[in-house]
Amino acid sequence: MIPPALRFPLLLLAAASASGCFAHTPAIPGPDGRPLPGSIASLEKLELGGVEQWILIRGADTTNPVLLRLHGGPGAAEMPLVHRYNGNLEDHFVVVAWDQRGAGKSNRRGFDEASMTLEQFLQDAHELTLHLKARFGQERIYLVGHSWGTQLGIRLAARHPEDYWAYVGMAQLVNQERGSHVAHAWLSDRLREEGRARDLARLEALGPPPFPDHADYVRFMRMVDAQGGGMDVGFGRLAWAALRAPEYTLPDLARWLGGANRGSGPMWNAPDYRDHDLFRGVPRLDVPAYFFAGRRDYNTPLALVREYAEVLEAPAGREVVIFEGSAHTPFLAEPERFRDAMLRVRAETWAPERAAPVAAADGAAAPLRTDRVILPFLFYAPETKLGGGAVAAGYRRLAPNLPSSSVLVAATVTARRQLSLDLESEIHRPGGGRVDASAGFSHFPDRFFGVGPDTPDEAEEAYTSRNVDLRLRLQRQVRPGLRVGPQARFRWEELVEVEEGGLLAGGTLTGAEGGTWLGLGAVATWDRRDNVLQPRQGDYLTASFMGFPGALGTTGYRQAMLDARRFLPLGAASTLALRTTLQGAGGDVPVLLLPALGGRDRLRGYYEGRVRDRVVASAQGEVRFPVWWRLGGVAFGEVGQVAPRLGELTTGRPEMSAGGGLRFRLGQDAARIRVDYAVGRKGSGLYLTLGEAF
């Protein structure tokens, strides 16, 4: 069987891989710290123009107008930057950041640079516009282009004015050649005034615009940047922001850099790109037009933007909005001013009554796709030594507003020749219903130490079991945070090897010869954590009961468990995590199914099942703290006790362990790689696994 502590993290690991190799965008929190009802925070892959491309969608209210951002470059994807610099727009718009073909997450291996044509980008953008209109049931959306994105955006708005409430051109590209001449004259004068003879010689060596060689244009623009006429934020700051963005993995960062470095090179001498001229190409625009321009911008000079705006035929209105403290990137240099300007655009152009949801043909408002992934994994624990395997998983939303349902198949093998095959499914149904089902087979050499609190190390004996385990849990949400429902379990077990002369071979322990058991019961779960994987605050409580009638199995017995957890924030980024459990069993309980302590979940440092009896209680405390970047640390202490009866739990010496570990965050809300080392009264152990202990 999959080790219990690995089941949930493996589901999340596979889900993360299916949706972007551990990339994730954090939920938008409400006042209680939980995901805000009616909000959206989604990282999605879709096909545009026959190529898989990625979009990031974030908004506090899905009934707000959609805002599609067209980044610059080509190749200068903004996805890892928009939430950090312009997250304040999410309260007023459903913001969509699109990594265009060849940029960021959409710059996949084998990308065909020949597909980078103006017409293809326009077709991709129009296809995405129609998708977003249908997805959110809105008649029109907002279109914001930056730099190269304005070359797309203004042509898109001119072709399809019926699709857009307004067009915002930020650092509007008017005429490539004329803009370069303006920048060249400004740069030449500035270098002369400052007496920068060496730089002036470099500029003269490039010659005057236009630049037939794309590399020469790049050198020229770097000189413009160096004199304050281009990017307002240095590359180092942008790269650091991208490195910290949960939406991007390290391979995504490499793709981001590769796309930005490629830039417009493949298109440089294409006539429709090289000869871009809005005076001739877009003399009229039938949507409200706003041009956001930095006072110091000489990449797309303000003078040309003003000149074009004066002659543009714009029956719906036009305006040039000047950002006094900016050059080429007002949304980075003056994010608050950018937000205020966008809110004014919305106030002047959005007709909310026209943005009411409309019926989408053939269910197009929420296209439901199936994601699939196959993923290898490794783990280590004292019980298994080094282990590994592979998981194959599929994910699909059964309705647009539901979490993804999943099916997972996994196979694992360990250095101790332990083998398991497992099938896990988690189905989320409309109305708050949830179905959890699993089926597993294992062949598992293991260790047994006896029953009771005082079993010595010398009592250890080896055995090998084979078992089939089937579980089913049906739950329905009866109020926010509370799920209840029935559960069932079937187990067949056979001990194929036992140690001669040991307790398991003696025939005195219930279930030592194997058997079959069928149980029915109920479960209730109360969950008010602010995050399932890495909570900082909130409570979690589950209560479970299962009865195994003797008429339906080899023996009759019953089990119950309470598991209570609390999470408290410590300072700005640390967390105190607390957990207590109480587990009991009565009747003719199979010895290997008695409640037990030890392993990677409870009482780390003790071999899993090192102490077992009819009643088990435990308490755990952890302090989780950040270290650097995605690396975190944990210090923990644990205590537990087993007893034959509840009243005897307080007698005898409790079991104790303590230790520490490291965590590596695979994504903002993805599973953590966990490395722990613990020392206890009856052992010590190293653990390499996924997910927290609780």
Q: Are residues 557 and 455 in the same domain?
A: yes
Inside any domain, residue 299: yes
Q: What is the 3-state secondary structure (H, E, C) of 73-86?
A: CCCECCHHHHHHHH
Say yes or no: 414 and 519 in one domain. yes
Within a domain: 20:
no
Whether 546 and 401 map to the same domain: the answer is yes
From 287, 320, 352, give the residue that closes a domain: 352
Left, alpha or beta for 84 (phi > 0: left; psi -120 to 50: alpha)? alpha
Say yes or no: 431 and 497 in one domain.
Answer: yes
| Domains contained in the chain, number | 2
pLDDT tens-digit profile of 148-161? 999 999 999 999 99
Position 454 in a domain: yes
The overall average pLDDT reported for the chain is 90
Contact residues for 283 (Cβ-Cβ < 8 A; gap 6+):
311, 312, 313
Residues 378 and 336 placed together within one structural domain of the fold: no
Residues 321 and 402 reside in one and the same domain: no
Whether residue 360 lies inside any domain: the answer is no
What is the secondary structure of 592-611 as a DSSP string?
A: GGS-EE-SSSSSTTSPTTSE
- CA-to-CA distance for 600 and 693, rounded, in angstroms? 7
Q: Model-level pTM?
A: 0.61
Tokens matching residue 582: 């109480």
The whole-angstrom separation of Cα 19 and Cα 14 is 9
Task: State the pLDDT at residue 356.
Answer: 40
**Domain annotation covers residue 24:** no
Residues 28, 39: Cα–Cα separation, whole Å? 7
3-state secondary structure (DSSP) of residue 149: helix
Q: Name the one residue in this structure whose structure tokens are 């109920």.
A: 522
Among 119-128, 353-362, 603-612, the range scoring the smallest mean pLDDT is 353-362
Most confident of 289-298, 345-354, 394-403: 289-298
Greater confidence, 562 or 396? 562
Q: Where a domain ends, among 297, 321, 352? A: 352
* Same domain (yes/no): 327, 394: no
596 CB-side CA count, 13 A? 23
204 belongs to a structural domain: no
For residues 115-129, average pLDDT: 96
Q: What CATH number does residue 470 fall under?
A: 2.40.160.50
Which tens digits make up the pLDDT trace of 547-564?
Answer: 999 999 999 999 999 999
Cβ neighbour number for residue 325 with a 10 Å cutoff: 12
Report if residue 12 sits inside a domain: no
pLDDT of residue 368: 54
Across the range 407-428, mean pLDDT stands at: 94
Query: Could you tell me the CA-to-CA distances from 420 to 388, 414, 608 in Å, in that order?
Result: 11, 9, 17
Do residue 427 and residue 317 come from a single domain?
Answer: no
User: What is the Cβ-side half-sphere exposure of residue 211, based on CA atoms within 13 angstroms?
Assistant: 23
* pLDDT class of 357 with cuts at 50, 70, 90: very low
- Whether the pLDDT of residue 10 is over 70: the answer is no
Stretch 356-362: mean pLDDT, rounded?
37
> Of 319, 352, 385, which marks where a domain is finished?
352
Residue with token string 């590399």: 215
In this prediction, residue 355 has a pLDDT band, given cuts at 50, 70 and 90, of very low
**pLDDT at residue 7 in the model:** 52
Q: Which domain holds residue 454?
A: 370-690
pLDDT at 351: 77
Check pLDDT > 80 for residue 445: yes
Same domain, residue pair 235 and 161? yes
What pLDDT digit, counting tens, does each position of 633-669 carry?
A: 999 999 999 999 999 998 888 999 999 999 998 755 5
536 torsion bin: left (phi>0), alpha (psi -120 to 50), beta (else): alpha
Omega of the bond prior to 210 within 30 degrees of 0, cis? Answer: yes
Q: Are residues 377 and 342 in the same domain?
A: no
Same domain, 135 and 264: yes
Looking at residue 364, the DSSP 8-state letter turns out to be T
Containing 240, the helix (H) or strand (E) segment is: helix 235-244
Given a contact cutoff of 8 angstroms between Cβ atoms, the answer to whether 40 and 27 are in contact is no
Q: What does the alpha-carbon distance between residue 283 and residue 294 come to, in Å, rounded to a whole number?
A: 23
Q: What pLDDT is stored for residue 667 in this prediction?
A: 59
The closest of 50, 46, 43 to 20, measured between CA atoms, is 43
Q: Express each pLDDT in 663-687 by its tens digit.
A: 998 755 556 899 999 999 999 999 9
Residues 6+ apart with CB under 8 A from 447: 383, 460, 461, 462, 463, 607, 609
| Cβ neighbours for 512, distance < 8 A, ≥ 6 positions apart | 495, 498, 503, 504, 505, 506, 591, 592
What torsion do the CA atoms of 528, 529, 530, 535 make, to the nearest 10 degrees?
170
CA dist., res. 330 & res. 342, Å (int): 12
- Specify whether the CB–CB gap between 597 and 607 falls below 8 A: no
Rounded distance, CA 20 to CA 567, Å? 29
Residue 500 lies in a domain: yes
Residues 233 and 305 in one domain: yes
Q: Which helix (H) or strand (E) holds 14?
A: helix 4-18
CATH at 59: 3.40.50.1820
